[in-house]
Chains A and B, each alone.
Chain A
Amino acid sequence: MKRGRIGSWVALLFGAGYFIIPLIATFEFSLRVRRGEYSLDAYRNVFTDLRFQETFTYSTAVALATIVVGVLLVVPTAYWIRLRLPRLRPVVEFITLMTLVIPAIIIVFGYIRLYNSSSWLPFTASARATDVLLIFGYVTLALPYMYRAVDTGLRAIDIRTLTEAAQSLGAGWITIMVCVILPNVRVAVLSGAFLTFAIVIGEFTLAALLNRPAFGPYLQNVGANKIYEPSALAIIAFLVTWGCIVVMQLLGRARRGAASDTR
């Protein structure tokens, strides 16, 4: 028993070291702008860089739009599948998982083929239209995570009986969705939203090939042209992603706490 426990700790330390040591090294490197002393100059340079502010703002806006579109698409779909078409669940799950297998570059090439400036739907000829394509591309990439999160949330409530209760009280579908379903899967939707945010904020392929001023291409550009700032940006990107995961964990704990209070 004791040998097993030591083995577990060794494995944990080794695994943690595998992840943490490169991060520590990256962080340490990002502090080396000034010769002979550690400083936060690299971070200062990043935060004062106009392009950082523009690209981060742009990616945040696109992420929020992706979340809104994703919620509007996924929540009613997952709800209807659970309520009326349970046999289609495996099919829908398969479709949502396909984006894990199909790389983003395939989506982009498909976009360029269908929506190039010479086609009958020349979306890529307009910046705004290209933004819309980007958002829908991100919705596709985030689909497995958003659908899973929402589906898990719906599983925790008796949507059929709640729906029938609301209908017996005179509610229509929109009222049911807005007043009954969405509030009760709020935590699950937020989990999916934060996961979507983490995916979008650092995404490179779609943004670069659609030539949009997003954070992912900015990261790559800085990495190719600067020395210490890329390390600082890597740490910042990690912190943003970890921040999203921590919020998701806290939300998940809050959901479990509320459920355990139910008599």
Chain B
Amino acid sequence: MAVAFLELDDVRKTYGPATVVQGFDLSVGRGEFVSFLGPSGCGKTTVLRMIAGFEEPTGGAIRIDGKDVTDLRPNQRNIGMVFQAYALFPNLTVAQNIGFGLKVAGMPKADANARVAAMLELIKLPQFSDRYPYQLSGGQQQRVALARALAPKPKLLLLDEPLSALDAKVRVSLREEIRSIQKELGITTVFVTHDQEEALSMSDRIVVMSEGRMEQVGTPFEVYNFPRTRFVASFVGTLNILRGKVGDPAKGTITVDGQEIVSARGVADAQPGEIRSVALRPEAVILTDPGGTRNRMQGTIEEVSFLGSVVRVRVRFKDNVISLDTFNSASVAPPERGKPVTVTFAHEDLLVLEGAA
């Protein structure tokens, strides 16, 4: 296992009686890209700000490259930070903004100018060096902000929802650019976002947070396909939730609307007859039966939505409904509303959510 570059050791934060971050333990390897993902108010930005030094932890320790920085001021931590609101200095040009950290560090002017030029090339804005922030678009401003954060070669890069203020198209292109630059430089990065698509597409690992707690830490693949808690399952990706009665906990059998289905992961912590929620990703469900050992459920097509490349189908059983997506094909007509249908899904795809339904 790689040596941890950033360590958060039982980090906590309280404001009076309110605990906003509880017992946060995390190790981030050198060069790793980790995202903090969660809804507003879950504490992800608070943790980021504690790493940066803008908030003082109520308890615990933070170490960067083996050094305890918990009590160090922000300007002593050698971090680079990119903010949601860009935070470019309005009175300075693009080049001066990027060179600000270099000037503070006392770098010789010639070296600083060379570094600024290199950063402008990195963000592909060499012709904008003399412009002021108000003369740039949002995407350009954020790229300048990124270059400014990276210019002094910080040990750690922190990004606090840097794409939230941008429109969708710019967001997609900029996140690819950020990831590409991060990989090229090999800088350890912590990225805060509430957008699961950003987290899933950019990260080496994701920390899913809720109400100040870490719900799960894992690769995007793990978090999406093997969510450990109900919250992670419902927050990351779209989820169909079915309520059923547990049959044999060891075998993982559950009866949903009178139809028995099996979860390969078992329902070890449940009692026979207990009502539990099970979850299915829409992409796990198909309208055809390829045979073999799969779960099969008979239902009725309730709604069909043609979305272009995707056709979204809603199937009703008795009390439960699931959505599934199929790819559009010109040679295959979309299913008809009201028609009976058999849907199938693998035993492994059925997630049993913890806790009583």
Residues of A within 8 A of B (CB): 157-158, 161-162, 164-172, 175, 179-180, 183-184, 186, 258, 261-263
Contact = CB atoms under 8 A, between A and B. Distances in A.
A158 B90 CA distance: 11
12 contacts: A164-B83, A165-B81, A165-B83, A165-B88, A165-B148, A167-B54, A168-B74, A169-B80, A169-B100, A169-B148, A170-B78, A184-B90
Nearest to A259: B134
B75 A171 contact: yes
Given A169-B75, A169-B80, A170-B152, 12 more contacts: A161-B87, A162-B87, A165-B81, A165-B89, A168-B52, A168-B79, A168-B149, A169-B100, A170-B104, A170-B105, A175-B104, A179-B100
B136 A167 contact: no
A107 B80 CA distance: 50
A172 B73 CA distance: 10
Contact of B85 (A158, A166, A170): A158
Contacts of B133: 262
Contacts of A165: 81, 83, 87-89, 145, 148
A166 B138 CA distance: 20
B185 to A, nearest CB: 17
A169 B103 CA distance: 10
Contacts of A180: 89, 91
Contacts of A158: 85, 87
A169 B101 contact: yes
B135 interface: yes
A261 B135 contact: yes
A19 B143 CA distance: 55
B137 interface: yes
Interface in B89-132: 89-91, 100-101, 104-105
B90 A169 contact: no
A261 B134 contact: yes
A101 B134 CA distance: 42
B88 to A, nearest CB: 8
B138 A263 contact: yes
Ranked 5 nearest A-B pairs via Cβ: A169-B101, A165-B87, A183-B91, A168-B81, A167-B74
B104 A171 contact: yes
Given A170-B75, A263-B136, A164 B91 contact: no
A107 to B, nearest CB: 36
Interface residues of B, number: 32
Contacts of B100: 166, 169, 171, 179
Nearest to B141: A263
Chain A interface secondary structure, helix, strand, loop or mixed?
helix
Nearest to B158: A168
Interface string B315-335: 000000000000000000000
Contact of B101 (A170, A186, A258, A262): A170
Nearest to B76: A170
A171 B75 CA distance: 6
A172 to B, nearest CB: 6
A175 B87 CA distance: 16
Contacts of B90: 157, 184, 258, 262
Contacts of A168: 52, 74-75, 79-81, 149, 158
B157 to A, nearest CB: 10
A169 B152 contact: yes
Nearest to B100: A169
A194 B285 CA distance: 73
A166 B75 CA distance: 8
Nearest to A186: B91
Contacts of A261: 134-135
Contacts of A186: 91
Nearest to A260: B134
B15 to A, nearest CB: 15
B135 A167 contact: no
A177 B307 CA distance: 54
Contacts of B74: 164, 167-168
Given A162-B89, A168-B75, A170-B75, A263 B134 contact: yes
A204 to B, nearest CB: 39
Nearest to A158: B85
A262 B89 CA distance: 12
Most central of A170, A171, A180, A184 by chain B CB within 10 Å: A170
A184 B91 contact: yes
Contacts of A170: 75, 78, 101, 104-105, 152
Interface string B41-73: 000000000001110000000000000000001
Nearest to B99: A169
Contacts of B89: 162, 165-166, 179-180, 184
B187 to A, nearest CB: 14
